[in-house]
């Protein structure tokens, strides 16, 4: 199964979504930071104004009534008390408490001290939902009995303590809660999710408009490479892809014309060469001297074999034979049986059916060449047909011969090349492997040649599954 991330559509969608997600993440953190800072400033300003207002009113109140008046003040987030000593002995040098105390001092004057700390307490929103809003049977200052099972989620907040000097004998002590970090609004998260989905769908549609014509172009190129005639790619998609498809179609048409001319030339050449060779054979048969006649006939047979192999190489992969799905294991067994009847040492090890789409006659020719090479140069060949772990069809012919020098392996499939040493002792034109390679490439496959360990040689026709 193809990994969707290996396709153009998958990668474009992934990159687009990752870019949008990254931008939303950065924007979210910036927004959350600015939102939290704005909420903290607003909360501090509210505490400053309310504490300053309360202190001013208490300064105008007689000393004997200040404590009672402070107890009667109902403030949702601030608790007041009037005492003879301040609850804060020294102001904090920095933090929310220091900022609030300095602002209160600037407003009303006098000695104002402040400090702050981070505390964890049950969510105020949860308490309001549980107990009802103020004024419905309870007051803001009313304290409920703590019940660990019903306190709700704990949240972090900042507690600011202030001590404001009212006169030489009394201090106003206040304790306020500033809101802690708040989660982002649900609408922001929903908006981000909807945006990511919309952008992903848009990227998928755009990449599909580009990817489908490219896939058609790749399929047409693969078909052309496998030897199919009259191949063309649909001209669709963006202008750049349309130009590429149009250029490919023009190239395929030119290649088709050239291949047709080549085939016609080869067929004419085949006819023209056979006629003089046949004439030479007839004249050689009339020679009375036996030794001379045999030498001449041997040369004629070599010319005939070389001509046929050269024409076979030129025609390899250019056959007009229709493709069909066949059992290569059955072809291997039949082929090896025919070769054994001709005295060629070739055996088949292909007990299980291996189906493949190919040109049967062409592929049988390539398999025959490999088997004959193994018998000629290695003393005998074993033909195996199987599927590789990559689901490719493999036709392997191996022998126990001397093998080939490592530096000559890459040259073996070159036309008219014959390796030195033991493998060159037999006669041959050096075209068998070149023909097999051309046929394999025309089927979209490859020919793999390698030495066996400790001895022997292996030739593999590897075809797409």
**Domains defined for the chain, CATH in brackets:** 13-122+153-178 (3.30.450), 322-463 (3.30.565.10)
C-alpha span between 371 and 459 (Å, rounded): 9
pLDDT interval class at 270 (50, 70, 90): low
Distance CA 197, CA 189 (A): 12
What are the b/e assignments for 35-62, b being 16+ CB within 10 Å? eeeeebeebbeebbebbbebbeebbebe
What ranges in 76-227 are assigned the alpha helix state H?
96-108, 124-131, 186-225
How confident is the model over 16-40, as a mean pLDDT? 80
Does pLDDT of 228 surpass 60?
yes
pTM above 0.75, yes or no: no
Structure tokens at 289: 């001297």
Question: Using CA atoms, how far apart are residues 228 and 213, in angstroms rounded to an integer?
Answer: 20
Greater confidence (36 vs 393) lies with 393
Q: Which residue has the higher pLDDT, 250 or 414?
A: 250
Rounded distance, CA 92 to CA 115, Å?
5
Residue by residue, DSSP assigns 249-307 as HHHHHHHHHHHHHHHHHHHHHHHHHHHHHHHHHHHHHT---HHHHHHHHHHHHHHHHHH
C-beta separation of 170 from 164 below 8 A? no
As a whole number, mean pLDDT of residues 405-428 equals 67
The half-sphere exposure of 404 on its side-chain side, counting CA atoms within 13 A, is: 23
What pLDDT, on a 0 to 100 scale, did the predictor assign at position 393?
93
**pLDDT of res. 422:** 43
Q: What was the pLDDT predicted at 145?
A: 43
Please answer whether residues 200 and 17 qualify as being in contact, where contact means their C-beta atoms are separated by less than 8 angstroms. yes
Q: Find all residues with CB under 8 Å of 330, minimum gap 6, and list them.
A: 350, 353
Q: What is the mean pLDDT of the chain?
A: 80
| 221, 248 contact by CB (below 8 A) | yes
Tokens representing residue 100 in the block: 């609030």
What is the pairing mode between strands 381-387 and 446-451?
unpaired
**Helix, coil or strand: residue 346:** strand
Report the pLDDT value the prediction gives residue 147, as an integer from 0 to 100: 44
Confidence of residue 180 (pLDDT cuts 50, 70, 90): low
Task: Report residue 401's pLDDT band, with 50, 70 and 90 as the boundaries.
Answer: confident
Q: Which residue has the higher pLDDT, 386 or 274?
A: 386
58: DSSP letter? H
């Amino acid at each position: 199964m193809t990994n969707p991330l290996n396709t153009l559509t998958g990668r474009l969608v992934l990159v687009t979504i990752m870019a949008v997600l990254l931008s939303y993440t950065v924007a979210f953190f910036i927004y959350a930071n600015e939102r939290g800072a704005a909420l903290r400033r607003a909360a501090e300003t509210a505490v400053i104004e309310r504490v300053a207002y309360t202190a001013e009113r208490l300064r105008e109140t007689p000393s004997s009534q200040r404590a009672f008046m402070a107890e009667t003040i109902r403030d949702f987030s601030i608790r007041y008390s009037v005492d003879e000593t301040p609850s804060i002995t020294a102001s904090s040098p920095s933090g929310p408490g220091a900022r609030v105390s300095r602002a209160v001092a600037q407003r009303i004057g006098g000695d104002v001290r402040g400090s702050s700390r981070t505390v964890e307490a049950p969510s105020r929103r949860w308490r309001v939902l549980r107990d009802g809003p103020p004024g419905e049977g309870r007051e803001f200052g009313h304290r409920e009995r703590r019940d660990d099972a019903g306190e709700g989620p704990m949240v972090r907040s900042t507690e600011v303590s202030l001590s404001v000097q009212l006169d030489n004998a009394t201090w106003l002590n206040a304790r306020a809660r500033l809101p802690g970090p708040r989660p982002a609004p649900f609408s922001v998260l929903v908006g981000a999710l909807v945006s990511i989905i919309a952008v992903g769908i848009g990227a998928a549609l755009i990449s599909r408009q580009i990817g489908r014509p490219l896939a058609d172009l790749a399929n047409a190129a693969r078909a052309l490479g496998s030897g199919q005639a009259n191949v063309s790619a649909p001209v669709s998609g963006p202008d750049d892809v349309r130009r590429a498809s149009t250029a490919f179609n023009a190239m395929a048409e030119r290649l088709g014309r050239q291949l047709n001319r080549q085939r016609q030339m080869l067929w004419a050449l085949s006819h023209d060469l056979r006629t003089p060779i046949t004439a030479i054979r007839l004249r050689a048969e009339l020679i009375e001297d036996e030794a001379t006649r045999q030498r001449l006939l041997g040369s004629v047979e070599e010319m005939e074999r070389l001509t046929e192999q050269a024409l076979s190489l030129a025609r390899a992969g250019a056959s007009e034979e229709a493709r069909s799905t066949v059992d290569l294991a059955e072809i291997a067994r039949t082929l090896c049986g025919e070769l054994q009847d001709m005295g060629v040492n070739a055996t088949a090890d292909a007990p299980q059916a291996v189906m493949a789409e190919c040109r049967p006659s062409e592929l049988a020719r390539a398999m025959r060449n490999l088997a004959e090479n193994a018998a000629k140069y290695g003393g005998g060949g074993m033909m195996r047909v199987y599927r590789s772990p990559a689901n490719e069809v493999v036709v392997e012919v191996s022998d126990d011969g001397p093998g080939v020098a490592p530096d000559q392996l890459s040259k073996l499939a070159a036309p008219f090349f014959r390796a030195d040493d033991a493998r060159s002792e037999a006669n041959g034109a050096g075209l068998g492997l070149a023909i097999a390679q051309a046929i394999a490439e025309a089927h979209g496959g490859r020919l793999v040649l390698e030495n066996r360990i400790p001895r022997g040689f292996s030739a593999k026709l590897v075809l797409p599954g």
